[in-house]
Amino acid sequence: MKYGVCLEMVFTDRPFLDRIQLVAEAGYRFAEMWFGDLAPAKRAANARTSKQAVKVRAAAAKAGVTMTNAVIGSPDGGIGGGLTDAVRRAEWLKRTDATLAYCREANIGAAIVCTGNLAKGLSRTQMRLNVLDGLKATAERAEKAGITLLLEALNDKVDHPGYFLTSSDEGAALCREVNSPRLKLLFDCYHMQIMEGDLTGHLRKNLDVIGHIHSAGHPGRHELWLGETNYPFLVRQLEIMGCQGVFALEYTPTLPPSESLRKTLAYLTKNTNSFKISNIWKGGGS
């Protein structure tokens, strides 16, 4: 399994670019970021390239780290407009073009897509149609740019009240309907543990469209061992399934970041010889 770290969640007292090297020193070879411009309300909406992107590319190369993804717009649609409201489609596509250009400059291979919140006055059916149409238009741009889109389902019970896409199954269905090689599902174990449970089952069912994985301990969104999910077991099952994506950490540390990241890596890769790991989920039964 390949492991990555979300840079906005760790070493928050250090300059952003320094965090790439610090993540590498903690044992990770993959990292990701949220907003490519680091000032999302301004620069990304007005510039197709950025000096910051060049700096990110250079810092990652120096550290031996692959930057996996950035984010197009904020989950609620406040930045970028979201997809649920077609009235804001032009705003979304402008933001998309800027983010894809940033990703190319920074050598980042993917961009996260959030649907935005429920749109006032629209039925869920209409919002889904808007999301689907928006995804198709976004995927066309991503195909031309050579950047992969990662559609993310989030929880609306704890962190993102009012968010539209709260089901990994619905997210996977949207990906299949768009049917673009540049649109995949981001499966966030933390969010889907809150909304769905049965993580292994949902991962198995939708592995064909899953392109990236996020994780955090629930409740609290802290270290992976500080929660109800057995992450070492989940990782072993993903390996058995043949998952090729990056398993990324997106949590707030309770320990000093370097210590937390090293302990998390040890926790996920700990010796499992004391019990047999097998492909136990086969379905069926009563």
Give the model's pLDDT for residue 43: 46
Q: Which residues pair with 212 in a beta bridge?
A: 186
Mean pLDDT of 108-127: 98
Give the model's pLDDT for residue 36: 62
Ranges of H-type helices in 75-186: 89-106, 124-145, 168-178
The CA–CA distances, whole Å, from 6 to 10, 68, 178, 272 equal 7, 10, 27, 27
Percent of the chain scoring above 70 in pLDDT: 90
**Regarding the domain with residue range 2-268, which homologous superfamily does it belong to in the CATH classification?**
Divalent-metal-dependent TIM barrel enzymes (3.20.20.150)
Percent of the chain scoring above 90 in pLDDT: 87
Give the model's pLDDT for residue 37: 56
Closest CA to 264 of 216, 192, 197: 216
Query: Model confidence over 155-178: pLDDT tens digits?
Result: 999 999 999 999 999 999 999 999
Please tell me whether the overall predicted TM-score, pTM, comes out greater than 0.85 for this model: yes
